[in-house]
Amino acid sequence: MSLAIEVHALTKAYRTYKKEPGFLGAVRGLYNRQYVETLAANAVSFSVEEGKLVGFLGPNGAGKTTVLKMLSGLLYPTSGQARVLGYVPWERKNAFRRQFSIVLGQKNQLWWDLPASESLELNRVIYGLEKTAAQKVIDELTALLDVRDKLHIMVRELSLGERMKMELIAALLHEPKVLFLDEPTIGLDVVSQKKVREFLKHYTTERKITTLLTSHYMQDIEELCERVIIIDHGKLFFDGPLQQILDRFATHKIVTITRRQGLPTGHSYAGWGDVLDLNAEQVRLRVPRDQVVAACRELLGTLQADDINIEEVPIEDVIREVFLKQQATESASAPMPA
C-alpha cells in the first residue's frame, strides 16, 4: 500500500522577544533585544498509508496543530521535509489543494450570517464543482449527519453540534483524499459526539480517506483509531498500535465489588489496591493487573459480595500516565543547575 503522508524531521521554530521587566527593561530592549526560540515541532518523522485513520495525540501545546498546519500548507516549516499525496504542502499547488481538507474544531469556515447552504454553494464555485455532482454529495452528507432540514438556517442560529456537522460537510464537499481533523468534537454534547464519530468511521472507511485526527476525547480515538502517534513538547515519542499503549501502560484494572446488605464497616481495602470510591454498598479499587485474579478471589470470599465487575482503566487515564512518565524521565535526565 502506497503512502499518502510522509514526514521527515519536520521542525517549526518560533522566535519570540523576551522583555525585561519595568521601564528600564523596555528601554534596554530598544537597543539590545533578547530572543527565545521555541520549537513547536522538533524533528517529527512519521508516515501514513493511504486510507488509514490515525490518532494524533498530545497535551495542549504539544505541537499537534502546528504539524497539521504545516501538512496542509498553512505554515512553512523551519526545516525538514513532508509530502502529502506526493506534493510538498507549503508549495500550495492547486492540484494539491483540491485533494485535501482541514477542519479546525475552534475555527469556523462557514459564514456566520448566512445559511450553511450559501457557504456550501460558495465552496462549490471555488472548487469548480459541477452543480449536480455537488448537490449529490450534499444530499448524501446531510442525510448521514441528519441535518438536511438545517441547510437554510443561519449558521449562527445552529447549535454547536449542527455547526460542526455543517463544517464537516463543507470540508468533504470536494471529496478530498486526505483529511486533517483538529478537535472535531470539541464542546459537543455526548449525542453529537457519537453521531460525528459514527459518521467519520463510516465515511472515511467507505471512501478510503487518509485521516489524521487530534482529539482530547479519548473515546474518539478508541472508537476510530487502531494506530496512534503521540507528540509532546514538539517531539514524537510513540508511534504504533493503540493496543500497544494499553499493553505497556495499562498496568492496572478497575475492580468494583457490590454487597447489597452493606459492606463491613471499618474494613481496610488498601491491601488489595488503591481505593477509588467507597460507599455503604460498593467499593471501587485500582488493582495491579497481575494481582486481579487473587484480589477478586479474596474479596469475594471475605466480603461475600453479590456482584463483581472488572474493567480496563479508562484510556484517557492511560494516556495521561504516558505523559507523566515522559515528563518524569525528562526531569530526571535534565542537568542540575550550577
Specify the domain boundaries for CATH 3.30.70.250 within the chain: 251-312
Q: Which CATH number fits domain 3-247: 3.40.50.2020, 3.40.50.300, 2.40.30.10, 3.40.190.80?
A: 3.40.50.300
What is d(CA 66, CA 307) in angstroms, rounded to the nearest whole number? 48
Please answer whether residues 271 and 303 qualify as being in contact, where contact means their C-beta atoms are separated by less than 8 angstroms: no
- Supply φ then ψ for residue 192, to 5 degrees: -65, -40
The set of residues, in sequence order, having a beta carbon less than 8 Å from that of 27 and lying 6+ positions away, is none
Q: How confident is the prediction for the chain on average, in pLDDT?
A: 84
Please answer whether residues 294 and 316 qualify as being in contact, where contact means their C-beta atoms are separated by less than 8 angstroms: no
Given this model, what pLDDT does residue 276 score? 83
Please tell us whether the domain made up of 251-312 is placed in CATH 2.60.130.10.
Answer: no
Q: For the whole model, what pTM was predicted?
A: 0.77
What is d(CA 157, CA 134) in angstroms, rounded to the nearest whole number? 24
At 265-321, the pLDDT tens digits run: 767 777 778 888 888 888 888 888 888 888 888 877 777 777 888 887 776 677 777
In the block, cell 489543494 appears at: 97
The set of residues, in sequence order, having a beta carbon less than 8 Å from that of 212 and lying 6+ positions away, is 5, 48, 54, 56, 68, 71, 179, 180, 181
Find the mean pLDDT for residues 245-259. Answer: 80
Cα-Cα-Cα-Cα dihedral sign, residues 184, 188, 193, 196: negative
- Supply φ then ψ for residue 237, to 5 degrees: -130, 0
Given this model, what pLDDT does residue 164 score? 87
The set of residues, in sequence order, having a beta carbon less than 8 Å from that of 308 and lying 6+ positions away, is 255, 256, 257, 258, 296, 299, 300
Given this model, what pLDDT does residue 134 score? 92
Asked if the model's pLDDT at residue 338 lies above 60, the reply is: no
Nearest to 61 by CA among 229, 234, 217, 213: 234
Nearest to 310 by CA among 280, 272, 279: 272
pLDDT band at 120 (very low <50, low <70, confident <90, very high): very high
Given this model, what pLDDT does residue 337 score? 52
pLDDT band at 334 (very low <50, low <70, confident <90, very high): low
Pairing between strand 210-214 and 178-182? Answer: parallel
Half-sphere CA count of 148, side-chain side, radius 13 A: 11
